[in-house]
Structure 1
C-alpha cells in the first residue's frame, strides 16, 4: 500500500505544528512533521523509546540534556531512551522532518515542566 499525507492520520500539536503518522505498530512509529518558524516542542524524555530524527527541509536545533545541536537538511540524529530532549525551529523557514520511534509506544513520553 502506498502511504502519503492524503491517506494517513494527521494531527496538530504545539503551536500550529503538524504531523502525519505513516506507520504505527508495537515495533515502530514513523511520522512526518512540520514545524512553522519559531516553534518548539516541550522538553521531555521517553523511558524505553529511542528515536531517530531526519531533516527533510529547513534547519533544526535540538536541546539534548543541556547541549544544543544544530541539524540541516539531510542530517539525522539518534535520541536515546531517557535522554531529555526537544526539537526547536529557531529560523524564519518551515522545518520538515521524519521521526522514527522504537518501539512504537505512544504512551512513553514524560513532559518536563519548567
Structure 2
C-alpha cells in the first residue's frame, strides 16, 4: 500500500510538495500539493502524456493558451507536445494526482 504518508517526498518550485506513488520508467504517478499563489514553469513533453486529477481545491491549468479551472474530482489530459502550466491562483492549497506515461524524466522542455 502507498500513500503520501509513506511515499518518497520531494519539494519543487516555490515550496510545492510531491510524493511518488508509482515511480517507474513506463509510468509515473505523483500526489502533488501547491500552496496559494504558486506556479510551475510553462513547458511541454515530447513523448509523455499526462493526466491531472484534482483531489482538493482548484487547479488553474493553462493549456495551449486556454485556461482551465479544474475543481475537486475533475481531471484534464495533457497530450504530448502540448504547452502547459499549472498554477494555484486561489487562497487555499490545491492537491492533485499527476499520472504520466511514460515518465516525463528527460522529456521536459521549459519555455520562456
Q: How far apart, in 1, do the equivalents of 2:64 and 2:29 lie? A: 23
Of residues 2-11 and 17-26 in structure 1, the stretch that sits farther from structure 2 once superposed is: 2-11
* Structure 1 residue 61 displacement after superposition: 0.7
The total of aligned residue pairs comes to 112
**Quick check: 2:45–2:104 contact (8 Å CA) kept in 1?**
no
Gaps of 5+ in 1: none
- Corresponding residue of 2:73: 74
RMSD: 0.9
* Cα offset, 1:6, TM superposition: 3.1
Give matches, 1:33-112, under 5 Å: 33-112=32-111
Query: Matches of 1:73 and 1:32 in 2, distance apart?
Result: 14
| Structure-2 separation of matches of 1:74 and 1:98 | 11
Structure 2 residue matching 1:33: 3-state secondary structure: strand
Asked whether 1:18 is paired with 2:14, we answer no
Separation (CA, whole Å) in 1 of partners of 2:5 and 2:72: 24
Structure 1 moving runs of 4+ over 4 Å:
none
Alignment TM-score, normalising by the size of structure 2: 0.96
Gaps of 5+ in 2: none
Question: How far apart, CA to CA, are the structure 1 residues paired with 2:65 and 2:95?
Answer: 24
Q: CA deviation at 1:106?
A: 1.3
Give the Cα separation in 1 of the matches to 2:52 and 2:104: 16
Give the Cα–Cα distance (whole angstroms) in 2 for the partners of residues 43 and 51 of structure 1: 14
Q: What displacement does 1:94 show? A: 0.5
